[in-house]
């Protein structure tokens, strides 16, 4: 049952109907900005993007079961739409207004905000699995389908909370100061998880202290009944939380001496990583100590939400890797090439974690790190790229291939004979992919702007071509 009426939607958005709803039209539930994400009965918001105009997809949205569309250009709306179409001045503002109403309409819903320099999307998935995944003892709840953490993604996340949900996991991101506070003003989290503080978006914030303050701002509006779960061993974050004025209880989780809840016995297992938390054992089906840390934060939050450890274990077992976040793939060469596809994004902390996973992954052949430049680091960029190359050598990763001018400059500064491609065009990517041999275990990691998933696509393509040639 929807909480909307057509008049309420028009009033909240200050819009007008280009194609008005009729008595037989059903009120919407949920929202999407991409027709591929549409579920039956959703609002489809048509945006004009750099490469496509969403208005052209309104007929497809109708065919996929959208209940209505939001448009900003009446001339771009296809003729004779078969669903109601609402014309607004600003589609983002319209979705935000609808999301604010939706949040207010479900006072029993617990919203948990998740932020941090690394691991936000994965931690959202882990929290949803831990709290909601078990068939018995889990909660009804919703988490974002993708990395929806910006000025558009947060309203879409809120609108996709369902009546009857006990939990909404909401990813809160930022690139400039003040954005987290703004997004929390809309989401109004009852509790929060901060995954880590690291050198991400350094160009816009300028110091780790400033990054810690920005992350800690997620806690400012959380009341004394709320909870903020953070990693141990981060004194800058501790200070920022103390300065934030939050009334929520803060719980530090990790292997460090300052932890309120201690993690111990973190170890790789077939298909995942095991750890103990205050004496209780858990397994997360993802590689890496950093994912064990993310899972431990999720466990503590799920406990606060009232989920028992047995249900948390069952739920965590169902967690899936987020696409292009250390997503493991075996490519059918002879022998198989194992790819750790972590091409979604990169900063110094996440690259260090990914290299550690590569170093501990069993490998039949070479371990190969394909690294694309880390962007938005400002003045620390040269130092950060040199440090990553140094860590790769320290971990014994024998083959490193880099893409982009910053890694090329770092290798030159160090005087190391690393395979470098200064350019980032498809020809450069092709040369990098050609260096990978059957049997290699390959990490592919770079900032979003580097689009290193092209390397993975080429490896798949070439494996298919070899298979076809021998058939």
Structure confidence by residue, pLDDT tens digits, 414-425: 998 889 999 999
Which pair of tokens denotes residue 319? 């967690």
Report the alpha-carbon distance of residue 88 to residue 188 in Å, rounded.
Answer: 25
List strands edge to edge, sheet with 31-32.
16-19, 85-87, 68-71, 43-45, 31-32
Q: What is the pLDDT of residue 463?
A: 87
Q: Could you give the residue range(s) of every CATH 3.90.190.20 domain in the chain?
A: 327-470
* Residue 8, H or E segment: helix 6-13
pLDDT at 1: 45
Give me the residue label for tokens 């070439």.
462
Cα torsion through 192, 196, 198, 201, rounded to 10? -30
Distance CA 117, CA 355 (A): 17
| Average pLDDT of the chain to the nearest whole number | 94
Structure tokens at 408: 């090329």
- Give CATH for domain 327-470: 3.90.190.20
The answer to whether the beta carbons of residues 443 and 370 sit under 8 Å apart is yes
pLDDT in tens, 337-384: 999 999 999 999 999 999 999 999 999 899 999 999 999 899 999 999
Q: What is the CA radius of gyration of the chain?
A: 23
**What is the pLDDT at residue 189?**
97
Q: Which residues, 6+ apart, have CB-to-CB distance to 36 below 8 Å? A: none
Task: Report the distance separating Cα 426 and Cα 16, nearest Å.
Answer: 45
Q: According to CATH, where is 3.40.1390.10 located in the chain?
A: 6-89
CATH code of the domain occupying 106-316: 3.40.1190.10
Answer yes or no: are the C-beta atoms of 111 and 187 closer than 8 Å.
yes
Q: Where in the chain is the domain with CATH 3.40.1190.10?
A: 106-316
As its CATH architecture, domain 6-89 has 3-Layer(aba) Sandwich (3.40)
Task: For the chain, list residues with pLDDT below 70.
Answer: 1-2, 465-471
């Amino acid at each position: 049952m929807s909480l909307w009426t057509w008049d309420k939607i028009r009033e909240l958005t200050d819009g007008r109907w280009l194609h008005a709803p009729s008595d037989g039209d059903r009120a919407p539930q949920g929202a999407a900005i991409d027709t591929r994400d549409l579920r039956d009965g959703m609002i489809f918001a048509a945006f004009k993007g750099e490469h496509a105009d969403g208005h052209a997809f309104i007929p497809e949205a109708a065919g996929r079961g959208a209940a209505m569309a939001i448009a900003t250009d009446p001339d771009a709306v296809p003729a004779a739409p078969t669903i109601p179409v609402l014309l607004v001045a600003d589609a983002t503002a319209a979705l935000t207004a609808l999301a604010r109403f939706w949040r207010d309409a479900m006072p029993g819903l617990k919203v948990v905000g998740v932020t941090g320099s690394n691991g936000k999307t994965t931690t959202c998935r882990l929290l949803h699995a831990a709290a909601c995944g078990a068939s018995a003892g889990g909660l009804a709840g919703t988490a974002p389908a993708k990395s929806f953490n910006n000025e558009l993604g947060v309203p879409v996340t809120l609108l996709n909370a369902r009546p009857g949900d006990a939990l909404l996991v909401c990813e809160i991101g930022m690139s400039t100061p003040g954005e987290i506070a703004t997004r929390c003003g809309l989401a109004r989290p009852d509790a929060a998880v901060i995954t880590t503080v690291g050198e991400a978006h350094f160009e816009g914030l300028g110091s780790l202290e400033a990054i810690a303050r920005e992350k800690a701002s997620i806690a400012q509006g959380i009341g004394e009944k709320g909870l903020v779960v953070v990693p141990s061993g981060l004194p800058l974050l501790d200070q920022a939380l103390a300065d934030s004025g939050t009334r929520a209880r803060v719980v530090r989780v990790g292997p460090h001496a300052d932890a309120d809840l201690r993690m111990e016995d973190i170890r790789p297992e077939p298909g995942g990583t095991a750890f103990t938390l205050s004496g209780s054992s858990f397994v997360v089906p993802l590689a890496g100590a950093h994912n064990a840390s993310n899972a431990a934060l999720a466990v503590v939050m799920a406990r606060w939400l009232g989920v028992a450890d047995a249900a948390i274990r069952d739920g965590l077992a169902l967690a899936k890797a987020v696409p292009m976040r250390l997503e493991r793939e075996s490519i059918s060469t002879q022998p198989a090439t194992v790819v750790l596809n972590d091409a979604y994004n990169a900063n110094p902390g996440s690259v260090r974690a990914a290299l550690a996973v590569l170093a501990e992954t069993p490998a039949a052949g070479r371990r190969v790190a394909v690294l694309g430049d880390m962007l938005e680091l400002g003045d620390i960029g040269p130092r950060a790229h040199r440090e990553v190359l140094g860590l790769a050598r320290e971990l014994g990763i024998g083959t490193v291939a880099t893409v982009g001018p910053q890694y090329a400059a770092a290798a030159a500064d160090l005087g190391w004979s690393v395979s470098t491609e200064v350019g980032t065009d498809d020809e450069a990517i092709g040369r990098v992919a050609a260096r990978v041999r059957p049997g290699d275990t390959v990490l592919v990691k770079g900032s979003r702007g580097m689009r290193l998933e092209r390397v993975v696509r080429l490896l798949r393509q070439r494996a298919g071509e070899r298979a076809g040639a021998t058939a």
